[in-house]
């Protein structure tokens, strides 16, 4: 797993792993930031951790080569981005193609990139949400697996909306990872399949909450 921050998605995935709902274990947690809460959560759970600080590398290519080096000896089924804040190079993405998944805090294809909650509020959207997608070289442009919606409340600010979206992230991300690990979900040759059936571009919908 790759992360940069607090690690609440790590916590939800760890809980699913411990209950048997995930169908797998977290082998390694890597952060690009020394102060990530996610590193503390992983350490306390006895998971191997690594700090690969992007500021120590002159180029994105050098940073990604170091990341790839840490990941390649592990025979990982899936590399999970959970609040990971560095854009990955095409070389890294193609090396782990079909085995890289991300959760993005918007209803993709709306609002790829950063500052998603404020952008949804500024647009006057009635709904916001989160999307699990496979990672391709196109930022937040890979095929969607699972999407969850929440209702925007009149008094929401970016923080309150982010907190509501985070609750559904904790539901859909372990689910999507479990599908991948059980091989119900496959991303091959640019097409995404669930139980052998090609998924529509928006992925599966989780019920509105
Ligand atoms: N890499 C590729 N190639 N494709 C994707 O879809 C990726 C990716 C790397 C990360 C997560 C994504 C998100 O869910 C993600 C998806 C970071 C940025 C960003 O602009 C944008 C989107 C995402 C992650 N990062 C700045 C950068 O220069 C740094 C910002 C910071 O450090 O705070 O890399 O939102
Ligand atoms: C989550 O909301 C995740 O969707 C978002 O950051 C938060 C991480 O929270 N991801 C991105 O913005 C990726 N650029 P967490 O550290 O508590 O899991």
Residues 6+ apart with CB under 8 A from 106: 112, 116, 117, 119, 120, 128, 129, 130, 131
pLDDT of residue 195: 92
Characterize the bridge pairing of strands 48-51 and 144-151: unpaired
104 belongs to the catalytic site: yes
CATH of domain 98-209: 3.40.50.170
* 3 state SS for 108-177: CCCCCCCCHHHHHHHCCCCEEEEEEEECCCCCCCCCEEEEEEEECCCCCCHHHHHHHHHHHHHHHHHHHH
The pLDDT assigned to 206 comes to: 61
The residue whose CA is least distant from atom 10 of ligand 1 is 87
Query: How much is the pLDDT for 50?
Result: 98
Is residue 6 lining ligand 2, measured as CB closer than 6 Å?
A: yes
What averages of pLDDT result for each successive group of 10 residues across the chain (209 residues)?
98 98 98 98 98 98 98 93 98 95 97 98 98 95 94 98 98 97 92 88 58
Ligand 1 centre and the CA of 178: distance in Å? Answer: 23
The alpha carbon of 164 is separated from its chain's Cα centroid by a whole number of angstroms, namely: 17
Q: Is there a shared CATH topology between the 1-96 domain and the 98-209 domain?
A: yes
Gap between the Cα atoms of 206 and 70, Å rounded: 34
Distance CA 206, CA 118 (A): 23
**Ligand 2: distance of its center to the CA of 107 in Å?**
14
Binding site membership of 7 for ligand 2 (Cβ less than 6 Å): yes
> What is the CATH number that goes with domain 1-96?
3.40.50.170
pLDDT score for 205:
64
DSSP annotation of 78 = -
pTM above 0.75, yes or no: yes
Whose atoms come closest to the Cα of 86: which ligand? Answer: 1
How much is the pLDDT for 74? 86
Atom number, ligand 2, closest to the C-alpha of residue 6: 16
- Judged on CB neighbours under 10 Å (0-12, 13-18, 19+), 195 is exposed
Output the residue whose Cα is nearest ligand 2's atom 9: 83
Distance CA 158, CA 67 (A): 31
Q: Which of 9, 80, 141, 147 to mutate to test the pocket of ligand 2 (most atoms within 8 A of CB)?
A: 9
Ligand nearest to the CA of 130: 2
Q: Is the CB of 2 under 6 A from ligand 2?
A: no
Catalytic residue among 54, 104, 133, 170: 104
Domain ranges of the chain: 1-96, 98-209
């Amino acid at each position: 797993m790759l992360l940069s921050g607090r690690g609440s998605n790590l916590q939800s995935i760890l809980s699913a792993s411990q209950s048997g709902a995930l169908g797998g274990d977290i082998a390694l947690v890597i952060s690009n930031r020394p102060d990530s809460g996610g590193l503390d959560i992983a350490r306390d759970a006895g998971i191997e951790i690594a700090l690969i600080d992007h500021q120590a590398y002159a180029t994105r290519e050098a940073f990604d080569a170091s990341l790839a080096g840490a990941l390649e000896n592990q025979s990982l089924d899936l590399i999970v981005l959970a609040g990971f804040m560095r854009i990955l190079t095409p070389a890294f993405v193609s090396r782990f193609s079909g085995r890289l998944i991300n959760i993005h805090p918007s209803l993709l294809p709306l609002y790829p990139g950063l500052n998603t909650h404020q952008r949804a509020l500024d647009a006057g959207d009635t709904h916001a949400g989160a999307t699990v997608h496979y990672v391709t070289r196109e930022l937040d442009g890979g095929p969607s697996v699972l999407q969850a919606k929440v209702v925007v409340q009149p008094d929401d600010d970016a923080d309150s909306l982010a907190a509501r979206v985070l609750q559904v992230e904790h539901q859909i991300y372990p689910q999507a990872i479990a599908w991948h690990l059980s091989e119900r979900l496959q991303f091959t040759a640019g097409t995404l399949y669930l139980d052998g059936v090609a998924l529509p571009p928006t992925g599966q919908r989780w019920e509105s909450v």
